[in-house]
Amino acid sequence: MDKRQLPHERIRAAAGPTWIAEFSSSQIINDVRFPKAKFNNADYIEVLTRSYPEWGVGGGSQFITNSQIKVLKIKNLETGETINFNH
């Protein structure tokens, strides 16, 4: 959770447990861009999160796409539960 720099209390209250999704990046390779720092308001690109250290240690990668993503599996980071999707 810290790597994403999401405010832990707000996310937990709003969304419940933390899940991570796995997918093939080949499906979005032609539609990926990197955001600018500070919620796209800075003058520099931020590939790895670092703008808000008060929300966590940072270092998580980030990107933006408008493409639909077919998820292969999701994993609950708290319990280890994994849900696989067959496509």
At which residue do the structure tokens 């996310």 appear? 11
Reported confidence tier of residue 68, pLDDT bands at 50, 70, 90: very high
pLDDT band at 71 (very low <50, low <70, confident <90, very high): very high
**Residue 64 pLDDT:** 87
CA angle 55, 60, 64 (to 5 degrees): 105
In tens, the pLDDT along 10-59 reads: 444 455 567 888 999 999 999 998 888 888 888 999 888 888 777 767 77
Residues 6+ apart with CB under 8 A from 46: 34, 35, 36, 37, 38, 62
59: helix, coil or strand? coil
Give the pLDDT confidence score for residue 86 in this predicted structure: 80
Assessment of whether the complete model's pTM goes beyond 0.85: no
